[in-house]
Amino acid sequence: MKGFINTKVYVENQGIITTNIGIENGKIAYIGDDKTVITEPFETTEEQIVLPGFIDEHIHGAGGADAMDGSYSALSTIANSIASEGTTCFLATTMTQSPENISKAMLAVNEYMSKPTTTGAKLLGIHLEGPFISPKHVGAQPPQYVASPDVKVFDEYYKQSGNAIKIVSLAPEVDGSLALISHISSLGVVASAGHTDSGYADIEKATKFGLTNITHTFNAQKPLHHREIGTVGSALLLDNLSTEAICDTIHLSIPAIKLLIKNKPHDKFILITDSMRAKNLGEGESELGGQKVFVKDGQARLQDGTLAGSILRMNDAIKNLVTMCDIPLEQAVDFATINPAKNLGVDTQKGSIKLGKDADFAVIDQNFEVQLTIREGNIIFYK
Q: Which residues are designated catalytic?
A: 274
* Cβ contact 194:173 at 8 Å: no
CB 108 within 8 Å of CB 169: no
The answer to whether 279 and 87 are in contact (CB under 8 A) is no
Give yes or no for a contact between 275 and 60, defined as CB atoms under 8 angstroms apart: yes
Asked whether the beta carbons of 87 and 272 are under 8 A apart, the reply is no
Residue 131: asked if its preceding bond is cis (omega within 30°), the reply is: yes
How far is 16 from 67, CA to CA, in rounded Å?
A: 35
Instruction: State the amino acid at position 346 in one-letter form.
Output: V
CA separation for the pair 114, 300 (Å, rounded) = 33
Per DSSP, helices labelled H in 97-166 are 99-114, 151-160
What is residue 208's three-state secondary structure? helix
| Residue 176, amino acid | G
Residues 50/21, Cβ–Cβ less than 8 Å: yes
Backbone angles phi, psi at 374, to 5 degrees: -125, 130
Burial (CB count <10 Å: 0-12, 13-18, 19+), residue 174: buried
